[in-house]
Chain A
Amino acid sequence: MPEAVLEVRNVSKSFPGVKALDQVSFEVRKHEIVGLVGENGAGKSTLLKILIGAYQPDEGELLVGGESVRPRSVKEASEFGLAMVFQEQSLLSNLTVRENIFLGNEEPFIRYGVIDWKKMDQAARVQLAKVEMDLDPSTYTDTLSFASRQMVELARVMTLEDRTSRHPIIILDEPTTVLESGEIDLLFQRLKSLKERASIIFVSHHLDEILAITDRVYVFKDGKNVAERPTNETNVSELHRLMVGRELKGEYYREGKQTTPRDDVVLSIESLTKKGSYYDIDIDLHFGEIIGLAGVLGSGREEVCRTVAGIVVPDKGIVRIDGQKLPFGRPADAIKAGIGYVPQDRGNEGLIIFLSIGPNITLPNLAKVIRSGFLDHKREKNLAVEWINRLAIKTPGPNALCLNLSGGNQQKVVLAKWLASKVKVLVLDHPTRGIDVGAKEDVYELVRALAQQGIAVLLMSDTLDETIGLSNIVLTMKDGRVTQRIPALAGSKPRPLDLIEHMM
């Protein structure tokens, strides 16, 4: 067995209210590609951030070449040979290929205080050759295709070889998300030849890719490393089972409390189109109905939701709520019509973390606590206390800033905000992202209770299981179009695989 170049031993990391990593151990050996799989929130990104020095572990240690290290910044991590090709590419588009490759490491090319471009060009060509790219190093990166930019990033990361004596360990986080299939093949080919020079950690949601490129796979679930498999001894269905690994699925999503929607439509979306995002979307959402939108990145489901929430303006089409045409582009209009939006980005869009619970709840409907023109602070506080009790929000007190609440309790405040506004329709954009299992179950319970009261829900989730488990009907989307409408009645839920074929 080749020696381990990187060992992670019993690493744990907590954020307020969530244990993101729980006693995780794993290793990367010389000249191998290791796959990491797991659902969103399983702890993969936290681990990667620890490896590149962006986070510090609460406990446990990292060993590089047998030596215990504790990188505190991306720069320090690179000195230990650890570098990441970022999911959102990190090249500076206003600079050339050569400048990007050597950004922050220009010293070797400086003569008499100025940069020797010829020398840098030569060195850049050497790096590009490592990824088999034949490219003029003075090209500006904004003129390159996405796939070429990714190669430039790889070339840049490979400068590690010359800068440290360590064995380079390259981390690729979802590198194929935006690539065409031909480009993916090319990337894989390059990665296989890079194995001669480096070790690679490969993170992907696509299990078939993991099986195609890696030598070994680790499966993460709920912050734990639950399995390790040599790639040639496993398959998609085993990995999937390990990732999801829940037996009591029905109870988890409160399927027993799933209700039948009413017959009348509360929100109707009619041939809604926004070029480049989504096309000819038709959805009828009934009172008390939960519709799940399933689709990969770029399927257009998020833009549809943000259109209904009054943020995105479509090119054509109509949204009616209770028969009234909804004006587009102003959240205030959507709110007035009775639509509440629980956004993905809880800390920036969902609530104002520097305000306490009361002011967050009253933000969309301040009129509730205004008496003869003036704010009634006492009434606002009572309202906060009422919702703290109703949703069992764990807080030091009604005056605590939302900053000090855990993710799950913050999400309850966002929900309370809309429930206090008496919405008819809730748009839930990844409502359980980054919150722990217990809080997730509270949210599921709440969603069921809302449906019971007749509130309609448009749902987008991190996991297919959640989408299927909660929804009355699932709409799959692909390339901006609805491809299939799949009923998800309690007791006869479709399987994730039934959906995936309409999403890919």
Chain B
Amino acid sequence: MSVQPRLAARFKSLQGNSSLIGLMPIITLAVLVLVMTIGTPRFFTLSNMTGMMEQGSTLLVMGLGETFVILLGSIDLSIAALAALVTIIAAMLLPTLGYGAFVVAALCGAAAGAITGLVHTKARIPSFVASLGALGVWTGVAFTISKATPITVSQVNTHYLTWVNGTTFGIPNVIFIAMASLAACYILSEYTPFGRYVKAIGAGEKAATISGVGIEKYKTLAFTICAALAGLSGILLSARMSGGSARMADGFQMRAIAVVILGGTAISGGVGGPLRTFVGVLIVMVLDVGMNMVGVNAWFQQAIYGAIIIGAVALTIDRSRMSIIK
């Protein structure tokens, strides 16, 4: 027996204990927090926790959207590019439209997702390709309309940003926004036909079709919701950075996928949900802090997250469901 099947067999036996696999993200988080707490007594303090949550809010909102698309068994590679485009739209429109700029920006995000979804379903293009193409388009548009220059929100308009940047009861508003998104996505996933159908499509598209589920409708809807949340995360970014730039969401795409997978949503679709993504975000936030303390520089952190995604998929993917892996 060569090494490869032996490894696969070991992964399989790991999965055999499915409750263990389901708990792994939580266990990982607990271990990380424990290590950090022992290593740095200041880690487990209220202000540090709040700071981490504040940092993670934008990522959580983006990851929640990606969760629905991955639950379908698809992938959206364009959401960070879209979020960057939205930062520009919001920053450019803010002087003239005020709060309306956020509404327009969010609608642009949702519309962009609907387009990606329709290209994927109507033209029957794999989501990987459709969203990769969209990534190119949104990035190109973002650079063009911003003339490749960052746009800054002028001092007179910063009061429009307090709903994101301010605090309530001492807690940053952005945390409330992220938590509200989490709650909404949880309800969407667990208590609506949309959530049920998304999981059914991810777990068995053929059977769902034969049972009369409108596959194209719900897929398009999932991409739209994903993009709307990407739009919201763009708005949050724009407010926190007081501006817009085509490079503002650099690095977010991989992290958004990482939090979904680290949380335990299966890349093959059907299993997972928003709460898991929340756990994934917490893991990434703790890892961020940890890596900074150990002295891993910000550039190399990307490499580590890349490796972590592959590792997490290797551990959790159910190979018995895929006879051929392309």
Q: Which residue of B lies closest to A330 (CB)?
A: B212
Q: Is the CB of A349 within 8 A of B196?
A: no
Q: Which of A311, A350, A417 has the most CB of B within 10 A?
A: A350
B210 proximity list for chain A (CB < 8 A): 309, 311, 331, 341, 343, 349-350
| Given A331-B211, A349-B210, A364-B212, A370 and B203 contact (CB-CB distance below 8 Å) | no
CA–CA, A334 and B190, complex, Å: 28
Q: Is the CB of A355 within 8 A of B203?
A: yes
Q: Does B214 contact A (CB under 8 A)?
A: yes
What is the size category of the interface that chain A forms with chain B?
Answer: 20 to 34
Q: Is the CB of B192 within 8 A of A373?
A: yes
Q: Is the CB of B191 within 8 A of A366?
A: no
Q: Does A351 contact B (CB under 8 A)?
A: yes
Q: Does B177 contact A (CB under 8 A)?
A: no
Q: Does A332 contact B (CB under 8 A)?
A: yes
A331 proximity list for chain B (CB < 8 A): 209-212
CA–CA, A416 and B195, complex, Å: 23
Main secondary structure of the interface of B (DSSP, over half): helix
**Number of B interface residues in the complex (CB < 8 A):** 23
B271 proximity list for chain A (CB < 8 A): 354
Q: Is the CB of B196 within 8 A of A332?
A: no
Q: Is the CB of A375 within 8 A of B207?
A: no
Q: Which residue of A lies closest to B195 (CB)?
A: A375
A353 proximity list for chain B (CB < 8 A): 203-204
Task: Say how far A85's CB is from chain B's closest CB, in angstroms.
Answer: 21
B211 proximity list for chain A (CB < 8 A): 331, 335, 363-364, 417
CA–CA, A351 and B206, complex, Å: 9
Q: Is the CB of A348 within 8 A of B206?
A: yes
Q: Is the CB of B270 within 8 A of A354?
A: yes
A352 proximity list for chain B (CB < 8 A): 200, 203-204, 207-208, 270
CA–CA, A373 and B271, complex, Å: 23
| Given A366-B193, A366-B196, A374-B192, A351 and B212 contact (CB-CB distance below 8 Å) | no
Q: Is the CB of A332 within 8 A of B193?
A: no
Task: Say how far A252's CB is from chain B's closest CB, in angstroms.
Answer: 29
Q: Choose from A330, A334, A335, A348 the contact partner of B207 (Cβ within 8 Å).
A: A348
Q: Does B317 contact A (CB under 8 A)?
A: no
Q: Is the CB of A375 within 8 A of B192?
A: yes
Q: Is the CB of A375 within 8 A of B208?
A: no
CA–CA, A441 and B211, complex, Å: 25
CA–CA, A348 and B206, complex, Å: 6
Q: Which of A353, A354, A355, A375 has the most CB of B within 10 A?
A: A354
CA–CA, A336 and B213, complex, Å: 11
B197 proximity list for chain A (CB < 8 A): 366
Q: Is the CB of A355 within 8 A of B192?
A: no
Chain B residues 128-166 with CB under 8 Å of chain A are none
Q: Is the CB of B207 within 8 A of A350?
A: yes
CA–CA, A309 and B207, complex, Å: 13
Binary interface profile of B, 265-296, with partner A (CB < 8 Å = 1, else 0)?
00000110000000000000000000000000
Task: Say how far B34's CB is from chain A's closest CB, in angstroms.
Answer: 32
CA–CA, A343 and B211, complex, Å: 11
CA–CA, A417 and B207, complex, Å: 12
CA–CA, A420 and B203, complex, Å: 22
B200 proximity list for chain A (CB < 8 A): 352, 355, 359, 363
B219 proximity list for chain A (CB < 8 A): none
14 other A-B residue contacts (CB within 8 Å) besides A330-B212, A354-B203, A354-B270: A332-B212, A332-B214, A345-B206, A348-B207, A349-B206, A349-B207, A349-B210, A350-B207, A353-B203, A355-B204, A355-B270, A364-B211, A366-B196, A375-B196
Report, nearest first, the 3 A-B pairs whose CB atoms are least far apart: A352-B204, A332-B212, A354-B203
